[in-house]
Amino acid sequence: MEYMRIKIIILSSLVFFMSYVHGESNSYIVPFELTQSGHILVTAKINGREGRFIFDTGAGINLLIKKFADKTPNLEKSEHFYTGHRSTGEELMMDIWKLNNLQIGKFSATNEICSVYDIDFPFDGLISLTPFLSTPITIDFLNKQLIIETKRSIKKRISSADYQIPIKIHNDKGISIDIATNIKLNDTLDLLVNLDSGSGFGSYKFNYRYMSNLNIDTSNVKKIERESMFKSGYYNTHYFTKVNQLSDINNNVITKQINAQFITGLIYEGIVGINWIGSIITFDLANKRLIVKK
C-alpha cells in the first residue's frame, strides 16, 4: 500500500509538471494600481530590485529612470545603442543595457534589455511589450489586474470574448516593439493608429494633416504651442476639437463625441489609448490580435 501511495504521488506530480511545461497551468494574476489619468502602475523587480513601473504598450522599449538604475545590481551596459523618436519627432539616442531578470508577480523574463534615462519622473520606469512577444497578457480594467496567460487560459479568453481586433506589430530588431490597429474616424477616414496604454484614458491624438479630410476649420478650434521636454526650442502645435465617432475597422466598438488632438509633426497617423476598446483586453502578439471583452 505504501508503494502504491508513493506511486500515485509521483504520477500526480508528473501530470502537474507536464501540464505546467505545456502551458496548461493557471494564469498569473498581478494586481495593478490605476491612476486618475488612467495609467497602469505595476510592481516589478529588475534584477531582484523592486520598483513601481508604468505598463506602457507604446513605450517600445523597457526604460529605467537613472536614479533607480543606479541602485539596481548587475545592470550591464552594452556597446549597443538605439535611436528612436518621440511621437512628435524628437530623436532620442539611447544606450542599451542588459537585464538579468525582469519579474512581474510570478512571471519572469530573462535576457531582457532596457534603456536608462535621466529625467524627473514620479515612478521607476516603463515596462513595454517586449517581454510578452510570445506570452499573451491581459489588462482587466474592471478588477485592476494584469494577467499573464497560459495556453489553457487563453482558450477561455477566446471562448468568452465579445470580439477580436487584428493588430499590426512593428518589431525593430527585437529592441523596440509597437502595436497598431486600423480605425475609422467619423465613419469615413481609415487610419492606422498606435495603441498606447501609456497615454492614459481619453487620449486620441492624430496627425494634423487629417483635419482637412474631416473638414475641420483650424481657425475655429483651440490651439496651443508646446515645447518638447526633451529638445529645447522644438515646438509642436496641438489643435483641440471633437470628433463625432471613432470605431474599430469592423465596427465592433464605437465611441462617440471624443475629445481629439491634431498635432503638427506627429510621426504616426494617430496614437490612441486603449480603454475605448473594452474593459478586458488580451494582447496576443504571437497571433497579431486583441481578444476583447466589453
Domain 2-160 sits in CATH 2.40.70.10: yes
The pTM of the full predicted model, rounded to 2 decimals, is 0.89
- Whole-angstrom distance, CA of residue 280 vs CA of residue 278: 6
C-alpha atoms less than 13 angstroms from C-alpha of 32 in its C-beta half-sphere: 28
Q: Output the nine-digit C-alpha cell for 191.
A: 487610419
pLDDT band at 11 (very low <50, low <70, confident <90, very high): very low
2-160 shares its CATH topology with 164-293:
yes
| pLDDT computed for residue 230 by the predictor | 75
Show Cβ contacts of residue 132 under 8 Å, excluding neighbours closer than 6 positions. 148, 283, 285
pLDDT score recorded for residue 228: 85
Beta strands 189-195 and 270-272, pairing class: parallel
- The pLDDT-based confidence of 285 (bands split at 50, 70, 90) is very high
Domain locations along the chain: 2-160, 164-293
Q: Cβ(280)–Cβ(293) under 8 Å?
A: yes
Query: What's the mean per-residue pLDDT of the chain?
Result: 91
The CATH architecture annotation of domain 164-293 reads Beta Barrel (2.40)
Which residue pairs from 278-282 have beta carbons closer than 8 angstroms and sit at least 24 positions apart in sequence?
Answer: 278/162, 278/253, 279/140, 279/141, 279/142, 280/138, 280/139, 280/140, 280/141, 280/142, 281/138, 281/139, 281/141, 282/136, 282/137, 282/138, 282/139, 282/149, 282/154, 282/157, 282/161
Give residue-wise pLDDT tens across range 238-259: 999 999 999 999 999 899 999 9
- Region 21-48: mean pLDDT is 86
On the question of pLDDT at 5 being above 50, the answer is no
What pLDDT is stored for residue 8 in this prediction? Answer: 38
Model confidence at 63, in pLDDT bands (50, 70, 90)? very high
Percent of the chain whose predicted confidence (pLDDT) is above 70: 91
Once rounded to an integer, what is the mean pLDDT over residues 270-287? 97
166-223 tens-digit pLDDT: 999 999 999 999 999 999 999 999 999 999 999 999 999 999 999 999 999 999 999 9
